[in-house]
C-alpha cells in the first residue's frame, strides 16, 4: 500500500479529527517490531484537533519514543500519532480492527499495534511470532531472563506486568477473579508454580489481599521477571 494512503495530508486529518479525545484514564500498549510501551490519551490539546499523549514507562522503542500527540479520525476508526518535539510531525497511523485493538504502520514502515488495557484476558490461540520466539503479550520476543518462573531464592521478589491480567483465587483460569493488575504495574510475589512445563502462575501479595496471576503460558509471557 502506498505510504501516501497510509499518511494523508495533515490538513485532511485535521478536518476529520474528533472534537473530543478518548477517555484520559485508559491505558494502551503501543507495539512495533522494535518494542513496546504504555501510553494514555489525554484531553489537553497540543494543536488544533490534536491532543496530548502521555508515555508511562519510558520504554518506547526509538521509532515511537517521540510520540506526544494524537488525533482520532473517521469517528474512532483511525488513530494518528504525532511528534511535537519540533513542530508537528505525523509519525504513525493505526486503524481499528475490533474494539480496543488498532493495527497500522509507523512512518518508517514498521507494523504497529495499539491495544487497550481492558481487552479480555487472552484465550487459547496458536503461538505467535517466528519459530523459537515466545512473545510478550504486548508484542516482541520475550527476553530469555523473562521466560520461566522468577528465581525467588535468588532475590527476585516482584514481576512487572506487560498487560492487564486477572488476579485469581487459585492458580487456574477457573479460579475466582479477585482483582486485576494493570499493564506496567510492579507486583510483589510470594512464589510461583510451574504447570505442564510451560505455564507459570505467581502468587502476588498486595496490601489487602493475595491471589494468583498467570505469568506465562505456552503462547505468551504476560509479566517480566523482576521490576526496574
Outline which parts of the chain fall under CATH 2.30.30.40.
144-225
Calculated CA dihedral for residues 12, 13, 19, 21, nearest 10 degrees: 180
pLDDT of residue 85: 82
Q: Are 145 and 160 in contact (CB under 8 A)?
A: no
pLDDT of residue 216: 95
User: Could you tell me which residues are beta bridge partners of residue 213?
Assistant: 202
> With 0-12 CB in 10 A as exposed, 13-18 as middle and 19+ as buried, what is 46?
middle
Decide which of 3.40.640.10, 3.30.70.120, 2.30.30.40, 3.90.1150.10 is the CATH code for 144-225.
Answer: 2.30.30.40
pLDDT of residue 5: 41
Q: How many CA atoms lie within 13 A of 114 on its CB side?
A: 28
Q: Are 149 and 202 in contact (CB under 8 A)?
A: yes
Task: Kindly state the cell numbers that stand for 129.
Answer: 511470532
Q: Are 187 and 90 in contact (CB under 8 A)?
A: no
Residues of the chain with pLDDT under 70: 1-25, 120-132
Tell me the CATH architecture of domain 3-116.
Beta Barrel (2.40)
Outline which parts of the chain fall under CATH 2.40.128.
3-116
Q: How far is CA 26 from the centre of its chain?
A: 11
Q: Are 215 and 221 in contact (CB under 8 A)?
A: yes
Look at the pTM and tell me if it is higher than 0.75.
no
**178, 172, 185: which is closest to 224 by C-alpha?**
185
Amino acid at each position: 500500500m502506498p505510504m501516501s494512503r497510509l499518511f494523508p495530508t495533515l490538513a485532511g486529518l485535521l478536518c476529520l479529527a474528533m472534537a473530543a479525545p478518548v477517555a484520559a484514564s485508559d491505558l494502551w500498549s503501543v507495539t512495533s517490531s522494535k518494542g513496546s510501551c504504555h501510553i494514555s490519551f489525554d484531553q489537553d490539546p497540543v494543536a488544533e484537533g490534536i491532543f496530548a499523549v502521555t508515555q508511562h514507562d519510558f520504554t518506547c522503542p526509538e521509532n515511537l519514543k517521540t510520540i506526544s500527540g494524537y488525533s482520532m479520525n473517521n469517528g474512532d476508526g483511525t488513530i494518528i500519532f504525532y511528534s511535537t518535539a519540533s513542530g508537528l510531525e505525523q509519525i504513525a497511523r493505526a486503524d481499528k480492527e475490533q474494539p480496543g485493538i488498532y493495527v497500522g504502520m509507523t512512518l518508517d514502515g514498521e507494523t504497529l499495534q495499539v491495544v487497550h488495557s481492558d481487552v479480555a484476558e487472552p484465550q487459547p490461540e496458536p503461538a505467535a511470532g517466528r519459530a523459537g520466539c515466545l512473545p510478550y503479550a504486548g508484542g516482541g520476543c520475550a527476553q530469555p531472563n523473562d521466560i520461566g518462573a522468577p528465581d525467588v531464592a535468588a532475590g527476585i521478589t516482584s514481576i512487572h506486568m506487560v498487560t492487564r491480567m486477572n488476579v485469581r483465587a487459585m492458580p487456574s483460569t477457573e479460579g475466582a477473579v479477585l482483582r486485576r493488575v494493570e499493564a506496567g504495574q510492579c507486583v510483589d510475589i510470594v512464589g510461583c508454580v510451574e504447570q505442564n512445563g510451560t505455564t507459570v502462575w505467581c502468587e502476588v501479595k498486595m496490601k489487602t489481599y493475595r491471589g494468583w496471576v498467570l505469568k506465562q503460558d505456552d503462547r505468551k509471557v504476560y509479566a517480566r521477571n523482576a521490576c526496574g
